Amino acid sequence: MKYRLNLTITLMVFIGGGFGQNVDIHGYARTYLGVLTNDSHDYAISQNTLDLKLEGSLGLGGFYANPYLYQYPNQAVELGLREAYMDIFFDNVDMRFGKQQIIWGKGDGVFITDIVSPKDLSEFLLRDFDEIRMGITAVKADYYIGNNILEMVWIPTFTPTKMPDTSSPWARLPVFDIPMVIDESEKAIPGRLENSETFVKFSGMSSLIDFEIMAGTMWDDDPTLHITPTLEPGNPLPTSLLFTPKHHQLMLGGGSFSTELGRFVIRAEGAYYSGKSFAAENAMGMSFVLMEKDFVHYLVGTDFSIGSNILSFQFIQRTIMDYDESIVSDEFDNTITIMYNRTFLNETLALQLFGYLGLNKEDALIRPTLTYDIADGFEIVAGANLFVRNNDTITDGQFGYYDDNDMAYMKLKYSF
């Protein structure tokens, strides 16, 4: 770790010296403490963060790097590089090479066409969204056609979703009454040209509407769990289970748009995915079978203001095409998001309420936050993450599963 830290500091000094007066260094330091609200009152998180952003420009190009450091009590320091890329600018084309976050789509808190950068779900959906999106090594080209942009992305090596550690309170593993073995030997995708990912997006803007049309060939960021039962002669029930996570290739096409109707902003986003594997039950009612199906994922939403109050609503649905009743997932999975914002005290105090409401399982994640600007660069954030489950449902939903993980937290952040 000491070697990696020294190497990062040396790189920063080298970059700063190379770009001379054209380099800008900014970022933030943050202390983050969260406590579970159940009877244990355990710390859900205790984290210190240093996040640096280095931007430099020289001639026809520029450079950007975002090193970060997470420190947890009694653990080794986690040092990483969220982004590190070079830009080259031409008359009608901009090129970007290196590790970068790529953000597409119109949705809030939902990933439909915004799937180029994989997600860090080590803390479920509770990280700030600029920390949830992981940087990927890619080549990106933006070709400008009047007010329109043709964007092409090539990702030479696959980066999967970062899942929670098995010891994490955010881990979610299937539970069976028989021994289970996990084999991750087929999880990695070899770094070969044929395994690279490609995406293309066309963006248009006018006085009436902003829209995007996109398509891509990719690996599913979330692995599919292949379950192989061990059977013994004369016993119809398995004696153990072998879990083999694998990533499958997908193709997708979709788009999004937003437009204004009076004081309302109307947004929509959707994509058609081909080649997704869904778990299905066999004749004995056990989820050992996989079925490959296409699915549609879309949202419609609106933003509007009433006086000093800003509100946002989204309806999100995933629909499995050519549905089979043996598939474990519902044919239609419906979610609503609600966001409310208001500022007080000359905009030094900000209140936000954001919620996911799962309609199928009648579960929810409610996230109220209160942010106060103490002084120039200093802010304090108090908030909560409240999970709700319906005790009458047979299985927990995406949010209800974490009903015991309700937490209250506080952050102190200094930006410079």
Tell me: the pLDDT tens digits for 292-315? 999 999 999 999 999 999 999 999
5-14, 191-200, 242-251, 316-325: range with lowest mean pLDDT: 5-14
- pLDDT range class, residue 9, cuts 50, 70, 90: very low
How many CB atoms neighbour CB 228 within 10 A? 14
- Give φ, ψ of 383 to 5 degrees: -160, -175
Residue 193 vs residue 180, higher pLDDT: 193
Structure-block tokens of residue 165: 């550690």
**Which residues have CB under 8 Å from 32's CB, separation 6+?**
45, 46, 47, 48, 49, 409, 410, 411
Q: Are 299 and 268 contacting, i.e. CB atoms less than 8 angstroms apart?
A: yes
Helix (H) or strand (E) holding 32: strand 23-36
Q: Is the pLDDT of residue 147 over 50?
A: yes
Contact predicate 265/246, CB 8 Å: no
Bridge partners for 227 per DSSP: 243
Comparing CA positions, the residue from 346, 275, 337 lying closest to residue 302 is: 337
pLDDT for position 59: 84
Pairwise CA distance, residues 290 & 324, whole Å: 11
Residue type present at position 282: N
> What is residue 8's predicted lDDT score, i.e. its pLDDT?
47
* Across 62-71, 121-130, 265-274, least confident range: 121-130
Provide the whole-model pTM: 0.90
Report CA-CA distances (Å) from 67 to 50, 76, 80, 147. 8, 17, 6, 33
pLDDT at position 162 is: 94
Percent of the chain with pLDDT over 70: 94
Work out the average pLDDT over 32-55. 95
pLDDT grade, residue 173 (50/70/90)? confident
Res. 14 pLDDT band, cuts 50 70 90:
very low
Confidence at residue 10, expressed as pLDDT on a 0 to 100 scale:
45
Q: Is residue 17's pLDDT more than 60?
A: no
Query: What pLDDT score was predicted for residue 287?
Result: 61
> Is it the case that residue 399 has pLDDT exceeding 60?
yes
